[in-house]
Amino acid sequence: MKDPPPFFPNAATDGVRDAAGILAALLRIERRLDALDRRQTSLEALVASAGSETRTVAKQVNQVRIAQNAFARHSARFSQLSRETKARVFAWIAAASVAKFRRLSREFATLIGSRAFADACLSCAALAARSQALKTIDTIETPLDALWWNHWPHNFAEAYAELALTNVEKIDLQVAVRRLPPCIDSLRALTFIKLRRCGLSGAPPQSLANIHTLTHLDLSENNLSGPFPEFISKLSNLQVLDLTWNNFDAGPIPDTFMCLFQLKEFYLESTNRTGPLPHWIAQMEHLECLYMSDNQLTGVIPSCFGNLKKLTQLFLNKNLLEGVFPIEMHALELKGFLVDLDKINGVPEHLATIAKGYE
């Protein structure tokens, strides 16, 4: 075993060194039990089929019994230690190994799953100093960061967020993280999330709706799925929302999104949206960019979209929209524009020229 780190001033007297040794022995024995069980199973099958190797099987069975007794003995010793000592041991061994110990016994699983244990364990890691300085997450710097993004037990992820990430204002990652931690709302200073092409899958956590300070949310070009995240409508301070290129269940643009009246950029390309373009979009007076391409939107382009005086980018192509382009929109100063010209009639020449430039 390595020497105790500086945060164990009384390691020689408080049982920490002994506890760490017990834990290491438990894990070695548990692995040995797995190997012996597999060997025993194969030998028993051999005996049943050939009627031989009986002596070898008996030897293996005895080894399993010895290992089981040793495991029980070490587990009993560890159970007698205080919660604080156990927590300090886990911080010493490595946070990445914590989850491995949950399988050793019900007592371990209960202990490791508690928030009090996670707080005690991570408080040994001197995270407060880093928390004060960290404003932006743009890389995975430490093993603890990697654990937070990828399947750390919830109690540890929540404790880590509150101990190490409390002052984070911006997340801008370009690496695979596969998921948004469910405790993302523990980052109460957060205003900006950009996780484009980060390999996200499954449904985004509903805890996102609790980050009322958020002004920028970009989860585009991932593999998010399941029901369309209607809870995002609770983020009334959003100015940029980008969910493009995800595989959500088919359905309409939810009417609850009319609450996002601060939006300047609204991107829902290739998100399986169906039904008509909602008229309430015309009430988003700050809207500058509207991207709804590559969906199954139907009906006509609402004439009230002519009220979007700040709109400079409008992309509605690859949908089932048809009819006449509203005359009320002819005066909009669009710099980017694309609709299906073979389905939409009456597009003014200057906008048709812009649209043909994207073909």
319-343 per-position pLDDT tens digit: 999 999 999 999 999 999 999 999 9
Residue 3 has pLDDT above 80, yes or no: no
Residue 75 has pLDDT above 80, yes or no: no
- Of 190 and 140, the structure prediction assigns the larger pLDDT to 190
Question: What does the pLDDT read at residue 136?
Answer: 93
Distance CA 118, CA 116 (A): 5
Residue 100 per-residue DSSP state: G
User: Of 62-76, 123-137, 260-274, which one has max mean pLDDT?
Assistant: 260-274
Residue 141 per-residue DSSP state: -
Query: What are the structure tokens assigned to 231, written together?
Result: 């809870």
Residue 122 has pLDDT above 50, yes or no: yes
pLDDT category at 5 given cuts 50, 70, 90 is: very low
Distance CA 62, CA 40 (A): 10
For all residues of the chain together, what is the average pLDDT? Answer: 83
- Of 62 and 217, the structure prediction assigns the larger pLDDT to 217
Question: What does the pLDDT read at residue 154?
Answer: 83
Residue 103 has pLDDT above 90, yes or no: no
pTM more than 0.95: no
Residue 19 has pLDDT above 70, yes or no: no
Number of C-beta neighbours around residue 36 at 10 A: 19
- Of 152 and 55, the structure prediction assigns the larger pLDDT to 152
Query: What are the structure tokens assigned to 211, written together?
Result: 């980050």
Residue 186 has pLDDT above 60, yes or no: yes
**Closest to 145 (Cα-Cα) out of 133, 128, 129, 157:** 157
Residue 110 has pLDDT above 90, yes or no: no
Are 262 and 286 a contacting pair, CB within 8 Å? yes
- Of 101 and 357, the structure prediction assigns the larger pLDDT to 357
